[in-house]
Amino acid sequence: MAGKKIASRVSRHAAASQPSTPVSQSTYPAGSLLSVTHLSLEEIGGILAAASELEAAAPRDRATLLEGRKAALLFYESSTRTRTSFELAAKSLGVVTTLVSDKSSSIEKGESLKDTGITLRALGAECIILRHLSSGSPYLLARETGLPVLNAGDGMHEHPSQALLDLRTMLARLRLAPVSRNATAISKATLRGVTVVITGDILHSRVARSNALLLPRLGARVILCGPHELLPDEAETLGPGVSIERDFDKALARADVAMMLRIQTERLAGLKLNLQQYTEQYQLHAERLALYAPHAVVLHPGPMNRGLEITSEVADGPQSMIEEQVRHGVAIRMALLVRALQPGTQEARA
């Protein structure tokens, strides 16, 4: 009985998390999340509320919500937290998951993304969670398969579920909006007065793009910080509310949230970086944090290079919410799966 109640409440939030006027996403299957820019504030509120509802539910009730539904995790890049997080979120809702990775699959034999997607669909997948090294690949997969696609990180483009879990972490910590089971009202003033400093390898970071495209819409100021090689001037054109400050200390002095990013050595493409100099200028260490941002929340999407962009003392310190981020990730991904697979829509879809 309790299970039914949850189902109805969650599906109400999930309904709110769908676009009311399907304009932005009209060419993509409903329930897809390809970019944070496709979400209205109302949808974001619906996702956050559903996440809280699901998190609070008894595991036994959750487990029947999407019982027997099928989702494929298609991973062309290695991943620990995003993959496991999506997988655990799916399993806790009763979703049957299958993992396909570029190793040990026909991808190694040169099968295209389109054919891989069509094959997964033929095998019964109702939703595909895609991580891919090529920017924009989730758009292709959604177009070619007609299935809802959840972008779990595409190249240097976006990582929308990460931005949503970062948002949930901030809201919880800053107590700006109740992350409650009641529909979270999200407005363009929700993060008014909050300054988020994102520091490091912005150029190659899909996390930075998703956050910089999402947070200003809720009223936050986003300051991007890093050297020219990793933060080109055009980053400022991402939208209003996004600015560049190359002096880390100055940026940090304004931060309510300090989000640190890893140097993505796999995407540097020949770019030479003086790591010692980088560390001196941009490492978040205890002294710097105490001096410039003693009250800021410290975030990191992981994986961390301890001793490079962040010291262990800070990562494991009292201002760090890095572990919390991971916990919020499961809740957000449960909500995204419910949104993609809308309980009770199996037949309608078929």
Partner 1 sequence: MSTRPILIRGGRLVDPATGTDSLRDLLLRDGVVAAVETPGQFARVANTTVVDATGLVVAPGLVDIHVHLREPGQGYKETIATGTAAAAAGGFTSVCCMPNTIPVNDTPEITRWMLAPERKAIVSVFPIGAATVGSMGEELTDYNALRDAGAVGVSDDGKPILGDEIMRQTLIAAAKANLPVIQHAEDTRLTGGCSMNAGPVAFRLGLRGMTIEAEARIVERDIQLMREIVASDQHLRPHLHVAHISTARALEAVKQARKEGLHVTCEVAPHHFTLTDEAVGDYDTHHKMAPPLRDEANRDAMIAGLLDGSIDAIATDHAPHAAHEKHVEFERAANGITGLETALGLTLRLLHRKHGMELSRIIHLLALGPAQVLNLHGRGALATGAAADAVLFDPRMDWIFQAKESRSKSKNTPFDGWSLPGRVAMTIRGGQIVYRR
Residues that bind partner 1 (CB under 8 A): 27, 112-114, 132, 134-137, 139-140, 144, 154-158, 203, 206, 209, 213, 232, 234-235, 237-238, 269
Nearest to 168 by CA among 259, 87, 47, 293: 47
Per-residue tokens: 339: 């949104």
Shortest reach from residue 330's CB to partner 1, in Å: 26
CB of 137 to partner 1, least distance (A): 5
Give Cα separations from 249 to 174, 241, 296, 322, 323 (angstroms): 22, 20, 13, 21, 25
Nearest to 328 by CA among 209, 161, 196, 191: 161
At closest approach, how far in Å is the CB of 138 from partner 1? Answer: 9
Shortest CB 49 distance to partner 1, Å: 28
For 234, residues 6+ apart whose C-beta sits below 8 A from its C-beta are: none
C-beta separation of 184 from 49 below 8 A: yes
**Quick one: 157 or 328, whose CB is closer to partner 1?**
157
Whichever of 75 and 292 has its CB closer to partner 1, that residue is 75
Distance of closest approach, residue 227 Cβ to partner 1, in angstroms: 16
Residue 121: half-sphere exposure toward Cβ, Cα within 13 Å: 17
- What is the smallest separation between the CB atom of 231 and partner 1, expressed in angstroms? 10
* For partner 1, the closer CB: 54 or 214: 214
- Tell me how far, at minimum, the Cβ of 209 lies from partner 1, in Å: 6
Closest CB 235 distance from partner 1, rounded Å:
6
Q: How far is the CB of 268 from partner 1 (least distance, A)?
A: 11
Q: Which is nearer to partner 1, 1 or 269 (CB)?
A: 269
- With respect to partner 1, which residue has the nearer C-beta, 210 or 320? 210
Name which of 254 and 267 has its Cβ closer to partner 1.
Answer: 267
**Residue for token pair 């995407």:** 267
Q: Is the Cα dihedral 82, 85, 90, 91 positive or negative? A: positive
Q: Between residues 113 and 258, which has the closer beta carbon with respect to partner 1?
A: 113
Give the nearer residue to partner 1 in terms of CB position, either 135 or 281. Answer: 135
